[in-house]
Structure 1
Amino acid sequence: QWLRLGKRSLRYDIQPNMAGIVAHLLVILMTLCLCFVGLQDDEHLQFLLKGSNLDKVKSNSWRKPRFFKLQDDCSTIWHESRKLRKVPSRHIFFKFFFFFGVRLGRHSEGLQKYAKDVPEEQCFSIIFKGNRKNLDLIASSKEEASQWAEGLKKLIKFSNNMSNKQKLEQYPSCFPFLGSPNRVAVCHINTNFSFFLDSEIEEFYKLLTKREEIDVIFNKYAETEELMSTDDLLKFLQTEQHENVTVEKAHLLIEMYEPDDIAKSEKHMTKDGFLMYLQSEEGQIFNPAHSRVCQEMMHPLSHYFISSSHNTYLVQDQLKGASSTEAYIRALTRGCRCVELDCWDGPNGEPVIYHGYTLTSKILFKDVITTVKEYAFKSSPYPVILSLENHCTLEQQKVMARHLREILGDMLQTTPVSGKDSADLPSPEMLKGKILIKGKKLSKLEHNQGSNITHDVETVSEEDEAAEIEDESVKSQVRKNSKAGGNFVLCFQCFNAMYFELYAVFQSNDFITHNMRQLSRIYPAGKRTDSSNYNPVDLWIAGCQIVALNFQTPCLQMDLYQGMFKQNGHCGYILKPKFLRESTTGTVGKPGIPRSLIISGQQLPKVNQDKINSIVDPLVKVEIFGVPRDVQKAETHHLNNNGFNPMWNKTYVFDISVPQLAFIRFLVEDYDGSSFNDFVAQYTLPVTSIQNGKEFQMCLEVITWKHAHVPYCYKWLV
């Protein structure tokens, strides 16, 4: 596909005799795919390459055999009809890029409902990123299911974790017929050894990897046209990347990223090594130090922005969409630390979770709690908050309490915890590995608790107001009999705030001061029946901690949300700026910090997959979000028919006065003169997480910040 993209994008440059070269190089690359991940002799991978028949499960009445196999490119799974065995269409291809994971056993809702007649060890599920439904499969034996699950896990792991350098180290074993294994790398062919390959293939390789903007900066510092000495590299790092580095650091970079052994031994870096460094983690625009927990975690909870989900149980809209435990898994594994549970009376005395008074499907409360126990701390060790919206009768509230205690056990925080100051809330560090419960308490019980309780201010949406009116008779009964249930311990106490228009309040100094000591939870109003979202930045500016969004809805607002919580190791807790933690006098912010931007791109994906000859006409929008005076944007012109190596050669300067609350978003669109532009890709990150002049890449390379590769994500993955 990479070669097809190159051929289509550059069809006006490729001579007729290059078509055979493309096919030749494609065959070579396909034979190397297993070597890319170093698994060419792995028994699980060999099994997947042969393929086998599996039952695909969708419902009680839909269970059909399909032939599944790993494609020769080792990055794609496809299946075909067992009877027809026809060439599969693109609609039944599954790329590992979109795989989140594999679960062996009857763990998905689909298999639990529709495969009860099959031994659990024969079942497994493929979990996709984004909102795509699981692929539930049944193997003919325990051994076959294990082969598939283990093989897929290995490919997903290597696909996600291997760096460019690690992949490069796997290539030499694929070239025993070329002599010294260290002389050639598929994606980094040294021209000194061009006699190993056809000269036209080498020409095509150069065409694929040519980057004018990289050539300019390399030639600016390189001692010769082909080599950069240690001193040259040091000068580049100090001048362009603004790094205070030593000769030893430059030697280390050469050792890590230079593919040519001769150049490496002489402490030189070739253009291929230079490009490899720029595309490495060290070259990311996103500061690698922020990929780990790097902030102080002993402050009170009120000093943190907390990743929070609204209507967590939904995978679609909130009128007739499906409810699923998978939605909790996806939220928790993405670092979400506050999930919502709308609890209602269910059949057989078991509480259920769903969006009340709608056609959304229902899931058991106990199944959600079991899921939370298993996945709460997979991505972060810091506390998870269960935000309960409780509409249950007294009897089923007792059942809820029993499930919480029996399933969560010691994970459940059941006693008050104070911070360093008795008036402060506990810190995330103090509550590591703990699950907290937040819910509205009845007025009779509110006065019986001590002071070491969190006071949670909630804005009440229209949906909750309606629920309270409809459920008033039930609530009265619970109030009268509240003692029968005992004091069900809640780690958060709430008082009903007045109904107010949020946007008139959050800018007030009193509200900001309140958020320095207490928690505020904000969530979308009930009228957002399509599960749309509001701009979270406006609420963060007011110091609100629990700003809940609909995670199931990919949109600009979720792009900003993911950008915010990308930092601090993706742990779900971000320390607020000092001026939102402590009372200060004077003006917040300082004179604008200029940020210079030069934009280029490489190998942008096609938008219209249905048109074979369609080529993207890219343009880039760069947007700054933050306090009102920092909001700004810039836009390049579009380039006709060039998604392969577009270069706009434009420089933009942004003045940012409050970088602690500023975010930069790169948006790539396919220009359309007669309609709306088509979305191609986006990448969002906090301004404070940008490395000065640094390169970066993640997923696919697309733009450069100074000399920094900007990764991008497809919208449906966000």
Structure 2
Amino acid sequence: MKELPSPNNLRGKIIIKAHREKWGDLVNICQVVPFSEDSLVTDASSNEGNCFKISSLSEHKLKGLITPSIREMLSGNKNSVEVRMQRLRDLTKKQLIRYYPGAQRQMSGNFDPIPGMNSGCQIAAMNVQTKCRHYAIYQSRFREYGSTGFALKPAFLLNADAPSIGTQRIIIKVIEGQNLLPPNKKTDLFVSVSVEGIKQDKIEKKTKKSKTNGKTTEWNEQIKFDVTCPEVDFILIRVKTSKYFGLKNSTIGLYSIPVTEMVNGMSYVPLCDPFLNKQPGTSLCIEVKIEDIKK
């Protein structure tokens, strides 16, 4: 097999992942091979990696590859991380890389899937039984492709010379929310809007607190962000309630969307509850304006 079948051709079929020694003769889709760091030390050769091979990395192993070590930080040698990142991306052009939660997640917590996505890794083994903001971000990546279970990589992960979108300014006006709480339940609510993605773009901004009657809540506040890599950034919107004089905040509704899927104009954002269950009739009215910034 020289190339993987298209997702459309794999519909209705079962993909078996097995070790080469026992089942290699029966499997023609995914063949497990150990991950070799040697491919990241030297330039990836033409015979390194095949489309039908798959290697697995724990979240800690992946983090160690794409973040500088203490020695590298002390010596100021941060370029080695960029080199490893690019060679990992080059490797994912030839074979599949799967990353999974570390062994310390005994309570089935989820890791942040974005660093793995940005490294070119194709498969994230999330704990689907645990619903959280990381899983909401993960789901939103596939929602833009009709929840088919696959998503196309940004062009720069396939070709380092591909043109990028460039820096954009995202202006979000949070207007009002509908049916955020049961009727006649009065409390203070605020909206948290954050950019989740590459390190230099990550930021969170909040509206002021507004009193709600459960039916409608008004803010009419504007929030601005500058994102340098829209292709891999996400916008995470959370409606929160403040308790105990602001000492504790709890999320009552959230929504995640890739920056590239945002469009100019007014829209109603459907909010899920903290467990990512749909809440019919619960939404947030926002107005979005996207500007290209030339630097």
1:675 aligned residue: 247
Mapped pair 1:426 → 2:1: no
Distance 1:545 1:674 in 2: 40
Q: Match for 2:115 among 535, 538, 544?
A: 538
2:227 aligned residue: 656
Q: Tell me by how many angstroms 1:570 deviates.
A: 1.1
Matches within 5 A, 1:621-700: 621-672=192-243, 673-698=245-270, 699-700=280-281
Distance 2:136 2:249 in 1: 18
Conserved 8 A contact 1:457-1:519: no
Residue identity matched to 2:227: I
Distance change in 2, residues 1:656/1:457 (3 Å): farther
Distance 2:235 2:59 in 1: 34
Q: Tell me by how many angstroms 1:456 deviates.
A: 4.5
Larger RCO, structure (CA 8 Å, separation 6 or more): 2
Distance 1:646 1:435 in 2: 47
Q: Tell me by how many angstroms 1:692 deviates.
A: 1.8
Distance 2:59 2:186 in 1: 52
Q: Match for 1:438 among 9, 13, 17?
A: 17
Distance change in 2, residues 1:495/1:688 (3 Å): closer
Mapped pair 1:598 → 2:173: yes
Conserved 8 A contact 1:626-1:663: yes
Distance 1:499 1:701 in 2: 35
Distance 1:614 1:497 in 2: 47
User: Per-residue displacement from partner, 1:263-303 (whole Å, max 9, x unpaired)?
Assistant: xxxxxxxxxxxxxxxxxxxxxxxxxxxxxxxxxxxxxxxxx
Identity of aligned residues (%): 28
Conserved 8 A contact 1:438-1:492: no
Distance 2:23 2:161 in 1: 39
TM-score (norm 1): 0.32
Q: Tell me by how many angstroms 1:695 deviates.
A: 1.8
Conserved 8 A contact 2:30-2:52: yes
1:528 aligned residue: 105
Distance change in 2, residues 1:495/1:632 (3 Å): closer
Conserved 8 A contact 2:167-2:226: yes
2:287 aligned residue: 706
Conserved 8 A contact 1:597-1:706: yes
Q: Tell me by how many angstroms 1:449 deviates.
A: 8.9
Distance change in 2, residues 1:496/1:620 (3 Å): closer
Residue identity matched to 1:531: S
SS at match of 2:187: coil
Q: Tell me by how many angstroms 1:521 deviates.
A: 1.1
TM-score (norm 2): 0.72
1:29 aligned residue: none
Matches within 5 A, 1:512-523: 512-523=89-100
Distance 2:60 2:205 in 1: 36
Residue identity matched to 1:503: K
Distance 1:702 1:497 in 2: 38
Q: Tell me by how many angstroms 1:618 deviates.
A: 0.8
Q: Tell me by how many angstroms 1:615 deviates.
A: 1.3
Residue identity matched to 1:540: M
Matches within 5 A, 1:451-600: 454-456=30-32, 501-506=61-66, 508-582=85-159, 584-585=160-161, 589=164, 591-600=166-175
Residue identity matched to 1:668: V
Conserved 8 A contact 1:630-1:655: yes
User: Per-residue displacement from partner, 1:44-98 (whole Å, max 9, x unpaired)?
Assistant: xxxxxxxxxxxxxxxxxxxxxxxxxxxxxxxxxxxxxxxxxxxxxxxxxxxxxxx
Distance change in 2, residues 1:495/1:696 (3 Å): closer
Distance 2:95 2:147 in 1: 23
Q: Tell me by how many angstroms 1:537 deviates.
A: 0.8
Conserved 8 A contact 1:619-1:639: yes
SS at match of 2:267: coil
Q: Tell me by how many angstroms 1:633 deviates.
A: 1.7
1:154 aligned residue: none
Q: Tell me by how many angstroms 1:696 deviates.
A: 3.2
Conserved 8 A contact 2:18-2:30: no
Distance change in 2, residues 1:680/1:656 (3 Å): same
Distance 1:647 1:696 in 2: 14
Distance 1:669 1:498 in 2: 32
Q: Tell me by how many angstroms 1:501 deviates.
A: 2.4
Distance change in 2, residues 1:499/1:706 (3 Å): closer
Q: Tell me by how many angstroms 1:674 deviates.
A: 4.8
User: Per-residue displacement from partner, 1:604-656 (whole Å, max 9, x unpaired)?
Assistant: 333xx7xx964131100001111222212210110134443332222122112
Conserved 8 A contact 2:233-2:258: yes
Distance 2:176 2:202 in 1: 24
Conserved 8 A contact 2:269-2:285: no
Residue identity matched to 1:555: C
Q: Tell me by how many angstroms 1:560 deviates.
A: 0.7
Conserved 8 A contact 1:439-1:493: no
SS at match of 1:564: helix
| Bigger strand fraction | 2
Distance 1:680 1:700 in 2: 14
Q: Tell me by how many angstroms 1:592 deviates.
A: 1.6
SS at match of 2:256: strand
Conserved 8 A contact 1:617-1:670: yes
RMSD between superposed Cα atoms in Å: 3.2
User: Per-residue displacement from partner, 1:451-490 (whole Å, max 9, x unpaired)?
Assistant: x76455667xxxxxxxxxxxxxxxxxxxxxxxxxxxxxxx
Conserved 8 A contact 1:457-1:520: no
Distance change in 2, residues 1:651/1:500 (3 Å): closer
User: Per-residue displacement from partner, 1:550-579 (whole Å, max 9, x unpaired)?
Assistant: 111111111111211111111111011111
| Bigger helix fraction | 1
Q: Tell me by how many angstroms 1:689 deviates.
A: 1.6
SS at match of 2:200: helix
User: Per-residue displacement from partner, 1:145-197 (whole Å, max 9, x unpaired)?
Assistant: xxxxxxxxxxxxxxxxxxxxxxxxxxxxxxxxxxxxxxxxxxxxxxxxxxxxx
Distance change in 2, residues 1:576/1:638 (3 Å): same
Residue identity matched to 1:605: L
Q: Tell me by how many angstroms 1:704 deviates.
A: 2.6
SS at match of 2:151: strand
Conserved 8 A contact 1:523-1:548: yes
Distance 1:648 1:631 in 2: 23
Q: Tell me by how many angstroms 1:499 deviates.
A: 11
Conserved 8 A contact 1:618-1:640: yes
